[in-house]
Amino acid sequence: MSQFQPDTHSKTIGYLLWIFGFTGAHRFYYGKPITGVLWFLTLGLAGIGWLIDLFLIPGMDRRADLRFTAGRYDYSVAWLLQTFLGLLGIHRLYLGKIWTGILWMLTAGLFGVGWIYDFCTLNSQVDERNRA
């Protein structure tokens, strides 16, 4: 008998990010920051890892659903805001982190360093807010 696991991450978003997979975007989304950085620095392991990931996304999605907590904040919304408006801190405002959201807005994501940090930690930030 299996217990129902909420769908915290979207395969659709995962595959859309996979299109830019040579940047590691889909790996960051599924909570794999170390390999996300590796994919970013090596252009998806010279494209080979990127191509293999086409078949690995369903498994990454299942593991993310088991690992992270569903709740008030949607992981896909947070990731879309981080990816496209992250330097403005909109993802932090969405998570209720008003002061750091404003700080990101005034400093271009703390001069880009905070924005990069958020790529590595956004899943845990959303998870923490959903557990509260």
**6 to each of 67, 82, 122, how far by Cα in Å?**
11, 22, 18
Distance CA 56, CA 64 (A): 12
Which sequence spans correspond to the domains of the chain?
Answer: 11-67, 75-131
Is the whole-model pTM more than 0.75?
yes
Distance CA 17, CA 44 (A): 13
Question: Model confidence over 58-112: pLDDT tens digits?
Answer: 999 999 999 999 999 999 999 999 999 999 999 999 999 999 999 999 999 999 9
Residue 3, pLDDT score: 64
Consecutive H or E run containing 124: helix 113-131
pLDDT band at 122 (very low <50, low <70, confident <90, very high): very high
Question: Model confidence over 11-24: pLDDT tens digits?
Answer: 999 999 999 878 89
